[in-house]
Amino acid sequence: MVELVVRSKCNSSLRQITDIVLNVTFPIWGVVAPLFGVGLLISAISSAQTNHPSKAVEYLAFCAVCLCVAVGSVLLKRALSKDFMIIDKEGIRLPKLLGRSLILNSYVPWANVQRIEAIANSNDPAKSFITLRRTKGAPIRLATNDIGPEFVEQLLLASQMWVPQLCDESLNQLQSTMRIGMKNEDQTYTELWEEELGRRFCPTSYIPLEIGKVLRNSTIKVMSHLASGGLSAIYLCQLDGKKLVVLKEATIPESGPENIKDKAREMFEREAQLLMKLNNPNIVHVLDCFTEAGRNYLMLDYVNGVDLRQMIKQNGPQSEANVLDWAIQIATALKYLHEREQPIIHRDLTPDNLVLRNDGQVIIVDFGAANEFIGNATGTFVGKHSFIAPEQFRGKATTHSDIYAFGCTMFFLLTGQEPEALSPSIPKEHNATISDELSELVESCTQLETNERYQSIAQLLPVLRRLAAQTMVV
């Protein structure tokens, strides 16, 4: 089970400026000051031996100043290096240097928090504040322009989930202020955060479950909505009062032939049972499937990280080395799926369904089972057309269809552009710096005819590893 851990980098401009100054002045405090201090110490000893005590004291004073500058700069640099804020179900860990504040005890357990409040500045949301009032110790005041709007949103989500009893109504006002007041030509962090949660599981208009709703004999409690639309919804839930899980809900309309709906349910349950047996480090663990009040559910582990679509949106196209590293992990997971006794076709491999964790591991977090279920029951096609192979459009998905989607995903990671639907993808046409061999690999994966693609992931993996090795050498 992957527990939810919110991790965000401190975006304080003061920290950044201080770090730049320390880097630029490193020759002074890192080299000159220590050497000068040692020289002054030697001079002090020499003066003491030649009966010049006043000179010795003077040298020692200057030596102490030099060494204090060196040691102080090292400690400051060390404090600045710890620039991540982390929230989990136990508490919040802050950088020791946060904006203009020095926080001696950087870890604050929720048990030591009496109230979480906010002061929202409607004229300038970046000048708002969140205050952690502690049962022991002075309150900790967090300026939004020091911690960044992304972390503010994540802090609000985490606190409402784990310690709602501590949340003051002013937190809702702050969230509304940020949503309204931080609009600009670029997408706000709030919108990026919502998109990451909402897109990750590809929902397909209807009323979702209410917050606090309990399911499966009261063992599952809905904590928040991640996404909803069409005939499905995604929820962040609490399992057995302690673990966080993702619940994917799929429903079918009452109208329609019963035999078709029954067949769709049967196929959904069968595939869900297969998914529950999977055990691979690059595939999210499917915990359970069940039906309740006419709604069908798939329960999965929650994986903390950023999906690859969001990664590209925030950072742009990635280097060949990064893409090949991720591609090898994805291909290894697909090989595991395709080579099982009962081969599993993913059917919905896209950047939205691939999450990059903080440790660099890529996790497949969703399968096409629910989409296939809705499609079978309604006679409609559900999925991202740009990543769907021609034969899958015709209702005949095979393992070759996953290879096509894999190539489309690599194209997106290398170029930052959506692949053209039902067309071979050639990344070099959009980014001339991409190597010929890697571009040809992607083009081969995305050929319209299955016999013109790589015939298996097992055939593709050695090529990916060889290209990755060449990239490391270069």
DSSP labels, 176-237: HHHHHHT--SSPPHHHHHHHHHHHTT-----PPPPTT-EETTTTEEEEEEEEEETTEEEEEE
Of 364, 362, 328, the closest CA to residue 345 belongs to 364
Q: What is the pLDDT of residue 453?
A: 96
**What value, to the nearest 5°, has the Cα angle with vertex 319 and ends 316 and 321?**
145
Instruction: Compare 197 and 424 and report the one with higher pLDDT.
Output: 424
Mean pLDDT on 197-226: 74
- What digits encode the pLDDT tens for the residues 47-80? 888 877 888 888 888 888 888 988 888 887 777 6
Q: What percent of the chain has pLDDT over 90?
A: 29
State if pTM tops 0.85: no
The residues, any chain, with a CB within 8 Å of residue 398's CB and separated by 6 or more, are 345, 391, 450
H/E element, 133 = strand 129-134
| Structure token pair of residue 3 | 């527990």
**Dihedral (CA of 104, 109, 110, 111) sign:** negative
